[in-house]
Structure 1
Amino acid sequence: MQPPEGKLIRAHVAGIANEIEILWRRGGPVTLDLSAITLVDSAGAALLATYYRRAVREGRALKVTGVRPEVAKTLDLFPVVEGDPPKPPRPGFLERIGEGTAKSHEVLLLYLALCADVAWFGVVGLFRPPKIRWRVVAYEMANMGSRALGVVGLIAFLVGGTVALMSAAQLRQFGANIFIVDLIGVSLTRELGPLMAAIVVAGRSGSSVAAEIATMTITEEIDALRTMGLNPTRFLVLPKVIAISITQPLITVMADFLGILGGFIVAVTYLDVGLEPFIDRLLQSLFLRDLLIGILKSIVFAQLIVTIGALCGMRTRGGADAVGLSTTTSVVASIFAVVVADALFSLIFYFGG
């Protein structure tokens, strides 16, 4: 058979493939006469390669005749590889470690660059207020702050009551019921309150930031901002950082209060600690420094959550599944960073007095 018009190109491939398929189903050898062919493109070469591999696989005879020199030069550009291509060798242990280290180093540099942009535009915005979009900041405060109060407050209340309940049995054995106040007050204000609030916000708001920016990256909205000469960090990330830096300390203080309230209910119910002794002991054991340490932690945790979520969103490549992967990566990385930062704070405050 001969392709029409002397051209084996994309426009003719579908019809030629149907004719070859009819001949193929009849059985026996198939001969393709290319003597009249003067032009072939990649689609035509792919068609010939497909049936060549099929003939080898099925043990059939396929003969191509009358190939002109100019056509042969084109076909030589698309060599037919018999069988499956060889699999690349599996990287070794050290190679995988090196690759992971290189990727981590690259991500760290990108994260530091993002933090530098946030710090720069934040400082510039103090002296040039129009640089900060305060309406967007107010919207983000409502989105990431007020709407997270319910779930954070409930978790803090339950955790405070649980910690007090688990400690009640041991304290009762030594007649140290009143020290439940020290345990609840200090642990919640310095550790549990900021940590619980940060973990909940990382799962709620951090994932939202990552998904939003990842979607904008996939739909090329981030590229559009850069094309218009607008910095995505200033327009997208900075308002979120400012908003969560304001709301997270308030959420943490509320979590401290509700956690202590949960511990108070357990202390009154199971340890016979009255309201007045509880408040007196709380004022004796809890200092303003403890509350300020928790607030400082909450600000750092909040900024880690938003910047990590923004970085994961901006590094998204692919389709819809990549958005989900970036969101998951953001939550896991944010919680890990929060725990590491909390451990570093604990070491600093312990050895620093």
Structure 2
Amino acid sequence: MLKKNPDKILENYHFEEGTLIFSSQLTLNEVNRISAKLIKKIRNYSENELRIDLSEVTKMDSAGAVFLGHIPKQLPKKNINIIVSGASEKIQNIIDTFSVPKELTREEIERTGLFERIGRKTYDFRSNVVGDYIYLMADLAYWTVLGFFNRREQRKGEVVNQALNIGVNALPLIALMAFLIGLVLALQSAAQLRQFGANIFLVDLVVIFMTAEMGPLLTAVMIAGRSGSAIASELASMKVAEEIDALNTLGLNPVRYLVVPKMQASILTLPFLTLLADIFGIFGGMIVAFLYLDISFFSFFHRMADSLLLRDIITGIIKSLVFAGIIVQTGTFFGLHVEGGAVGVGKFTTKAVVTSIFLVILADAIMGLLFY
């Protein structure tokens, strides 16, 4: 049997006065056979316009449509005008279905106005992030309040365990940090007050600053970095492992089952941690006042009794309650919205901590304006 000579096989395309004419079929087998030679010719094309005539094409599959979409990328010049014509309705439908989408150039991307891009980002943020955050806030507030009165659907002892993890285990760290903050604050202030003979006012400065401002803020920042990250990473890991979906399948609300005990524990422990930070911060200031300004402990306590107001203590406690809600809710939000598998767990945990600290400082500034 005689074998056909491949060189004598007629190609199903040819160029004619700036027009690339395809005939017969443009299927996977034909594309594999002609692609190398045709691409070589296309790369040497020098005209400003290329017409592609498909009037003689009777059959095309997805490979042919994709091949047509890659022809413009092989041209030596990017500004060559390409016109596709002659395709039947059936062939055109195949081209529209399987053709490669056009890639936007840098000029086309930058053509969008600045305010339009800002508006689109703002709208997406408001509709997606803010909406979900507010919905989670309402859901968490409802189940937290309800959980104090109906504890049947909560795991036994979970609130106590979370209180130990969030509160008791953080006592040494917060006490040390508050002591150092109070010590440094008093040391920096004493150098200035000493010049004006206003040594005794150091007591007012340390007491008011620690009880109304630095005590709750320092506690919240430390808890955000310590417990907020733990909440976010725990929920994110469960989300990646599809354990959250399993809880939904079992008819258990993940927020009520997992997050509410953490919120209740935070609400119960953060006020006490704040009071502890106040005490150790004032103690640090008292040490500096005694060693650097010769203010006796008796004089310090006597002045503190005059300058310390119940309003400042209550202000700090109210702030700590607000901060507790922000920390737990932010950690929960990022934990439940994790994307990207194991890598995403680390990224979203970092986002949770940074966002928690930012929102805590923002809330502190707002409450500072309201209370004073």
Instruction: Bin the TM-score by the shorter chain.
Output: 0.7 to 0.9
Q: Indicate the larger mover: 90-99 or 180-189.
A: 90-99
Equivalent residue for 2:99, pick from 79, 84, 106: 79
Q: Given that residues 304 and 337 in structure 1 are in contact (C-alpha distance below 8 angstroms), is that contact kept between their aligned partners in structure 2?
A: yes
For residues 21-74 of structure 1, the C-alpha deviation after alignment (integer angstroms, 9 at most, x for no partner) is 9x99xx999xxxxxxxx996x579768977x689767xxxxxxxxxxx999985
**Cα deviation, residue 132, structure 1:** 3.2
Question: If each structure's helix is expressed as a fraction of its own residues, which one has the higher value?
Answer: 1
Counterparts of 1:165 and 1:328, CA distance in 2? 34
Distance 1:349 1:220, change over 3 A: same
After TM superposition, the structure 1 stretch with the greater mean CA deviation from structure 2, 69-78 or 248-257, is 69-78
Describe the superposition over 1:232-273 as per-residue Cα deviations: whole angstroms up to 9, x where unpaired: 110121111111111111111111111111111111110001
Give the match for residue 208 of structure 1: 230
TM-score, reference length from structure 1: 0.77
Counterpart pick for 1:105 among 108, 122, 126: 126
Tell me if 1:221 matches 2:221. Answer: no
Q: Does 1:278 align with 2:307?
A: no
| Alignment match of 1:292 (pick from 308, 314, 335) | 314
Which residue of 1 is the match for residue 146 of structure 2? 124
Tell me the residue number matched to 2:52.
Answer: none
Distance 1:55 1:92 in 2: 31
1:136 Cα offset (Å): 1.9
- Closer/same/farther in 2, CA of residues 348 and 75 from structure 1, 3 Å limit: closer
CA contact (8 A) 2:212 2:312 kept: yes
Which residue of 1 is the match for residue 169 of structure 2?
A: 147
Instruction: Identify the structure with the greater strand proportion.
Output: 2
Q: CA 1:53–1:228 in structure 2 vs 1: closer, same or farther (change >3 Å)? A: farther
2:225 equivalent to 1:198: no
Offset at 1:227?
2.5
Deviations 1:106-164 (Å, cap 9, x if unpaired)? 32222222122122222332332213334222222122222222222221111101110
Q: Does 1:158 find its partner at 2:202?
A: no
Indicate if the aligned counterparts of 1:157 and 1:258 stay in contact, CA closer than 8 A: yes
Distance 1:145 1:207 in 2: 15
Cα RMSD between the aligned structures? 3.7
Structure 1 residue 295 displacement after superposition: 1.3
1:288-337 CA-to-partner distances (Å, cap 9, x unmatched) read 33222211111111111110111122222233332233222222221121
Bigger radius of gyration = 2
* TM-score (norm. length: structure 2): 0.74
1:92 to 113, 128, 143: 113
SS at match of 2:294: coil
Query: What are the equivalent positions in structure 2 for 1:210-289 lying under 5 Å apart?
Result: 210-289=232-311
Structure 2 segments unaligned to the other structure (5+ residues):
1-5, 7-26, 43-58, 77-88
Query: Does structure 2 conserve the Cα–Cα contact (< 8 Å) formed by 1:157 and 1:262?
Result: yes
**Identity of aligned pairs, percent?**
44
Looking at structure 2, the residues matched to 76 and 120 of structure 1 have their Cα atoms a distance apart, in angstroms, of 51
Please say which of residues 277-286 and 264-273 is displaced more in the overlay.
Answer: 277-286
Q: Residues 127 and 146 (structure 1 numbering): CA distance in 2 closer, same or farther, change over 3 Å?
A: closer
Alpha-carbon distance in 2 for matches of 1:296, 1:237: 21
Equivalenced residues, count: 327
Gaps of 5+ in 1: 2-7, 30-37, 58-68
8 A contact 2:236–2:338 mirrored in 1: yes
Equivalent pair of 1:134/1:239 in contact (CA under 8 Å)? no
